[in-house]
Chains A and B, each alone.
Chain A
Amino acid sequence: MAEMWISMGPQHPMTHGLWTLKVKVDGETVVDTEPDLGYIHRGVEKICEARDFTQITTYCDRLCYASANTWSHAYIYAAEDLLEVEVPERAEYIRMVAVELQRIASHLMWLGAYCPDVGNLTGMVWCLREREMMMDLLQELGGSRMHYNFPRVGGVKRDLPIGFALRCRAKLKLFLDRIQEYEALLDESTIFLIRTQGVGYAKAEEMINHGVSGPNVRAAGHNYDVRWAHPYSIYDELDWEPSVERPSIKGSDCYDRYRVRVEEMRQSALMVLEGLDKMPGGADTHYQSGDPAIIAKAPARAAEGQTGYHHFEDSRGESMFYLVGGGDERGKHPYRVSIRSPMFITIPYASKCMIGYKIADIPAIMGSFDPCIGETDR
């Protein structure tokens, strides 16, 4: 049969944001694919060169609307590496709470978007219902609903509000019960299993060579996680293990990637509960109280050519910021900001992953990698 190219997107329910997937098909079988990105390229890296170190956090929030806190924290850790700042322990705990709550919210957004992709509309309604609880908690921390601008160089914006731990515990306990409802809904749904099992096989070593990391690799049977391999923050004080899935001989399929994210939500909820118990008291949430002007010293601390970077476990894989200091001449602006987006690297791999499957499997395979176009296009 003759082969032909079909363009899926930029406006298509499968694409989760504006991008085009060009698919070469032979009948109903996918023979070749070519992703086409850049529809919402905003030039964040260039904009950041004209902003000082505090203002950049705001732009990082907007890299991914579903996972704002993980992105601003990824930036802040890199900025602290550049400016040689240490953070009080309580602030690290509060950051961990914010990041893990955001990870739950992001995975819920993913599951909520993935369920309708594979023909389960109820899943979307349920996930967005629970995501609302996480959004409320994050709103208490950051003040706004989606873009929190929460971390600061050397600390966090503000201490936990009064009664936060109480409400957080209550909501997370409710959430831990509700996860079982998702499992009952999805793991016992024949349609969901047929759509996700046995499609989109990906192997661990191949993914690592292609630059894919995070939950996608853990779904393929190896518990590699930046949080223990390149440690930061206070994760060593918590009792946790990265969730890891047992794949089949052919690698991990879409179902494994769904399972690993559900497990990761449970893991994150338990981490937050434990973190709230272990959090040290006091109001010490900022670097050297009495030294609020850390940014004013930025030109001296970040000389021109001095660099800082940080690998961070984003909810979609390993993200990274690479900063080059601007020195006296550029005041408080960095000379160069470079952003490593996990999805920018994963989308080309996921597109190749669907070769050999049917057109109807494209949404199931693509969605299972959790694409987010905001961070991809930057």
Chain B
Amino acid sequence: MAKEVSAKQVLSAAEEIVVDVADFGDAVNAEVRYHTGGRRKNAYVYIEVVASEWRALALWLKKTKQVDYCSMITGIHWPENADASWQVVAHLLRTGVTNPAVVNKRVHEIKVDIGGLSGNSTPLEFEISMTIPDTREPSVPSVADIWVGADWNEKETWDLVGIDFDGHVGMRRVLLPHDSPTGYHPLQKQHKLRYHDFNEMYDDPQGFGRKPEDSGRVK
């Protein structure tokens, strides 16, 4: 019995998704990508989607492709890039977890036959990316009702990055204090860390070795 999912199983499942997702037309751009580190260079599905189509894609993945698990939704701020200054990245997994069956009034735990997994039952990783042009109020549709696991991820993304999620019920601060100023989202790039671009920190943390700008000049 196979001990883990083989690269071949993953690749064929990923290719199937990329072929089927073409139904969405220009709004969705999918490809098979490969991890580049470690012992295995397993495939995963990378999808670029127009933000307005994200909900439709999510529903399709959930219903047709049994993608049942939202691992992470996060946001990135690219202030130097006016066409895509906000990016939302969602990582999904297909786990294939089901409730164990009841046989003769007894529950029997599931031990998956790993070698026999194929098609929609193969565990697979998805990376989904969408970008939003420069705006003061970035927003993408919420998927918290499709995967409840996305709920707190979206709260966190709004809290830290400032990207809002349309249709999200009960958006609030989760990691920052409740009374943080409106519009303050610390992972936006205009908020600099004290030591950004300051490499001398490690040699001279106290700054004793620093000299004034006019040092050595005739006064």
Contact = CB atoms under 8 A, between A and B. Distances in A.
B21 interface: no
Interface string B182-204: 00001100010101100100000
B150 interface: yes
Interface stretch (A102-110, A124-132, A227-235): A227-235
A152 interface: no
Contacts of A50: 193, 195-196
Nearest to A306: B36
Interface in B160-195: 160, 173-177, 186-187, 191, 193, 195
Given A209-B149, A210-B148, A348-B151, A86 B38 contact: yes
Contacts of A184: none
A282 B111 CA distance: 37
A247 B152 contact: no
* Category for how many chain A residues contact B: 35 or more
A119 to B, nearest CB: 28
B71 A208 contact: no
B114 interface: yes
Contacts of B3: 228, 235-236, 238, 240
Interface stretch (A60-68, A189-197, A336-344): A336-344
Contacts of B191: 46
Contact of B111 (A233, A241, A331): A241
* Category for how many chain B residues contact A: 35 or more
Given A46-B193, A213-B69, A232 B111 contact: no
B91 A320 contact: yes
B170 to A, nearest CB: 10
A285 B88 CA distance: 37
Contacts of B93: 229-230, 311, 318
A92 interface: yes
B57 to A, nearest CB: 18
B162 to A, nearest CB: 13
B55 to A, nearest CB: 17
A318 B37 contact: no
B98 interface: yes
Nearest to B69: A208
Interface in A227-274: 227-236, 238, 240-241, 244-249, 251
A335 B196 CA distance: 12
B98 A320 contact: no
Contact of B109 (A228, A244, A310, A324): A244
Interface of B: 3-5, 35-40, 42, 68-72, 74, 76, 89, 91, 93, 95-100, 102, 107-112, 114, 123, 125, 127, 147-153, 156, 160, 173-177, 186-187, 191, 193, 195-196, 199
12 contacts: A46-B193, A84-B36, A211-B150, A217-B97, A223-B110, A228-B5, A232-B40, A233-B38, A308-B37, A310-B37, A324-B76, A336-B187
